[in-house]
Amino acid sequence: MANNNYYDVLGVKQTDSEDTIKKAYRKLAKRYHPDSNPGDKLAEAKMREISEAWETIGNENKRKLYDQELSGPAKQKPFTAGPSKAPRTERPMTQEDFFNMTRGFDDMLSPEAIKNSANRSKAPRKNPIDTTDFFEKVMGFKI
Give dist(CA 106, CA 98) in Å, integer.
12
93 found inside a domain: yes
What CATH code is carried by the domain that includes residue 11?
Answer: 1.10.287.110
Instruction: Looking at the structure, tell me whether residues 19 and 71 fall in a common domain.
Output: yes
Residue 129's CB is within 10 A of a number of other CB atoms, namely 5
Q: In terms of residue numbers, what domain contains 29?
A: 6-75
Could you report the per-residue pLDDT of 32-88, keeping only the tens digit for each? 988 888 888 888 889 999 999 999 898 888 888 888 888 775 455 554 455 555 555
Residues 69, 102 within the same domain: no
Question: Under 8 Å CB-to-CB from 128, ≥6 apart: which residues?
Answer: none
Whether residue 37 is found in the same domain as residue 96:
no
* Phi-psi domain of 11 (left: phi exceeds 0; alpha: psi -120 through 50; beta: other): left
pLDDT for the residue 102:
75
Q: Within this chain, do residues 11 and 60 fall inside the same structural domain, yes or no?
A: yes
Q: What pLDDT, on the 0 to 100 scale, is given for residue 106?
A: 73
Residue ranges of alpha helices (H) inside the chain are 6-10, 18-32, 41-57, 60-71, 95-108, 111-120, 132-139
Find how far residue 123's CA is from the centre of its chain: 40
- pTM metric for this prediction: 0.48
Contact 47, 32 (CB under 8 A): yes
